[in-house]
Each structure stands twice: as C-alpha cells, then as structure tokens.
Amino acid sequence: MIYHIFLFIFSFAILIFCARLVVNSLTFLAKLFKWREFVLVYFILVMAASIPNLSIGIFSVMEGVPELFFGDVLGNTLITLTLITGIAALTSKGLMADSRVIQKSSFFLIVSSALPLLLIMDGELGRGDGVVLLLMFFLYSSWLFSKRKLFKHEYDGKENVKRPVSLLFKSVGGIFLGIPLLIFAGDLIVKSSVFFTNYFDIQIAIFGVFIVALGTSLPELFFIITAAKRQNDWLALGGIIGDVIVLSTFGLGFIVVISPIKIVLFSSFIPIFIFLVIASFLFFFFIKSEKRIDSKEAIALLFVYFAFILSKIISYFLG
C-alpha cells in the first residue's frame, strides 16, 4: 500500500516536472524563432499540455480501464473551467475576452464540453461517438486555421532571448527527454489508479474525476497562471478554451475509437454532469456578456468547483 502511494505521488511529480519542461522548451523555441501567437497558443500550450492526459488515456486502454480516462476528461474540464479560470482571473485582476477569436471559440467550448455528456447518455461511448468527437475537433481546427491572420504578433514573452547554440540544444533535449518521461509517468499513474480503485472498491472513472484529473490539470494551471501574471489574457483564455476543446474532442475521441467506454453506474456521474453544464454556461455567459471575467465572476466559478467537491463529500457520508 505504501509503495503504491509513493509510486502514485512520484509519478505525478514526474508528470508535472516534465510537462513544465516540455512547455518551457517549446516556449523558448517560440521566442527564438519568433513564432506567431497562433502557433504558440494552439500547438505549444494546448497540444503539449494534453500529452499527459493522452498518455494516461493510451495506458488506460492498454490496462483495459478506458473509463479512467473518461473520468480524467470530465474532471479536467470542470477544473479548467472553474478552478484554473477562477485563479487566473483573480491573479490578473480580470481576464479580458474582447478578442474575436476568444469570443467565437467560447461557442465551440460550450458545444465541445456538452458533446461527450450527450453521447454518453446511453451509457456508452462507442467508436461512432468517437468519430463524432474527432469531427468536432477538426471542425474547430479548420475554423481556427481560417482565422490565423488575426494572430499577427510574434511571441516574445516580454523577455529577451539569447541565441547561443547551447540553449537551442538544451530546449530540443528538454522536449526529447520530457515526452518519453511523460509517457512513462502516465503508465505508472494508470497502474497505481487500478490498484487504488480495487483496494478501496471505488469506481475507476470516479477516481479519474477526483484524483487523476486534479494531477493532470497542474501543468495547465502553471502555464495559464504564468500567462495571467504577465497580463497575457489572450494566452490564458486561449489556453483554457483550447485545453477544454482539444481534450473533450480530440483526446476523448481518439481513445474511444481505439476502445469504447462503458459506464456501469451511470447515476454516479449525474452530479458532475450537472456541475459541468453549470460551469460551461457560466463561463460562456461571462465571456459573452461583458467580454471579460472579473473578480466576482472568478469567485462564482471557484464556488461551482468547491460546491461540487462538497456535494460529493456530503453524498459519501450520507451513503
């Protein structure tokens, strides 16, 4: 038991360190080669930050427990829309959302976050559902690519970047070292999760919602909070929206096509479905109404997350 606890914590430590290493390395390359904001937001922040989740998804399939990844996706989406967004908005004293891309992307976000909930209503996400999710991802990607002219500025990170060859090799080395370690950590997390769910007799998807999702959301939290501190609101919101859309459509769709997901105790997921709907609509409303998320709205989003946690604690003790 102690061994598995240590292994679980150690795996998340590797996951967080390597995710930060990969994102930092890619960000340095963005500054060095003067990539545009579009490339940074979509390909560096969102896709790189999704590697830990995809790693867990792939090993969940290999271990025969794809429901763990489904729980991770649901929990990660809720955490991103409430906890991460709330902390980011409080950190930057309000996130401005006047960008046309952010405004229209918020519509794709609410559809993407609701789509898995609608498709799982029959208790199963089949391969056909996976194709639908992937089509949603490619639809959003196609739309976003058509708007890349709006990302006119080169990313400089508000920092001067030296150009020695040693730093270039260090960044490339960080990527090649970090990604395999992320995959390795994902394997250990899945194996440990299977042990804990069997030991405590917990539904593995629920374990994914509460425990695994909290750990896999930490890399996104680091990058988004950093962006918020630097007053890069477009980067923070772009990361939030992109993370939800990519994980809910491409990530989940990719895993489901490989291995369909069945939910045995569907009633246990009703609370997170309800809170996910509330969080999605609040996020969408705040973005569209005043084109910003202020401190009061940030507190409202944080309240949704802690209300969800409190509801599960109460339901657990009431049996």
Domain ranges of the chain: 2-152+162-318
> The pTM is what?
0.84
Which portions of the chain are predicted below pLDDT 50? none
Q: Report d(CA 111, CA 207) in Å as an integer.
A: 25
Contacts of 270 (CB under 8 A, 6+ apart): none
Backbone φ/ψ region at 249: left (φ over 0), alpha (ψ -120 to 50), beta = alpha
Q: Which CATH architecture has domain 2-152+162-318?
A: Up-down Bundle (1.20)
What's the CA gap between 225 and 229, in Å, rounded? 6
Contact 107, 281 (CB under 8 A): no
pLDDT reported for residue 253: 93
The answer for residues whose C-beta is within 8 angstroms of residue 243's C-beta and 6 or more apart is 45, 46, 49, 50, 76, 80, 220
- At 228 the pLDDT is 78
Amino acid at 135: L
Determine the Cα–Cα distance for residues 129 and 252; give it in Å rounded to an integer. 10
Where do we find the tokens 């990302």?
151
What tokens were used for 163? 């150009």
Looking at residue 154, its pLDDT comes to: 54
pLDDT of residue 100: 78
Q: What is the pLDDT of residue 164?
A: 61
Strands 124-125 and 95-96: unpaired
pLDDT value at position 33? 64
DSSP 129: H
User: Who's near 254: CB < 8 A, 6+ residues apart?
Assistant: 54, 57, 130, 134
